[in-house]
Amino acid sequence: MKEMANDEQYTPAWIFNVLGVRFDLDVCAPIGGTGLVPADRHYSLVDDGLASPWLGRVWMNPPYSKPTPWVDKFIAHDNGIALLPMAKSQWFNRLWNIADGVTPMPVNLKFEQTDGSKRSIMMGCMLFALGDENVRALHNLEERVR
């Protein structure tokens, strides 16, 4: 259960404000949502985002304890932006090589917590974009974090 609690790291709202895009689907939303991700639909654990169909532009901030199946589906879907940790892993290398755009996040990135507090994690994170429109959104963020 501790692993699941550690996976509940919500993307800070400022990222979405700077990206300036709306998503069709948040594929890894918390049950009940947080209202942070500007998406028309949200899949939670109940909906099983890995088993459910992905449509349109997706936002993905998956469980960092087991990102591989999420990254595989993200690559296959080929339209979205994903927030993932930097890792020495096959999934990271595969996504790094195939992504249309990659942007490192600030080293002091703080994630939203279920209680409303903010907390850093022990690893750096990056945004990966698949699709030209999503790459353009990353450029908005790159200008902000410089």
Torsion of CA 137, 140, 142, 144, to 10 degrees: -140
H helix runs in 9-99, sequence order: 13-19, 68-77, 90-98
Domain boundaries, the chain: 2-145
Assess whether pLDDT exceeds 90 at residue 6.
no
Determine the 3-state secondary structure of 112 from DSSP.
Answer: strand
CATH architecture for segment(s) 2-145? 3-Layer(aba) Sandwich (3.40)
Tell me: the pLDDT tens digits for 33-54? 667 899 999 998 889 999 999 9
Residue 7, CA distances (Å) to 19, 28, 68, 94, 116 in order: 23, 11, 14, 22, 15
- Adjacent-strand bridge partners of 125: 85
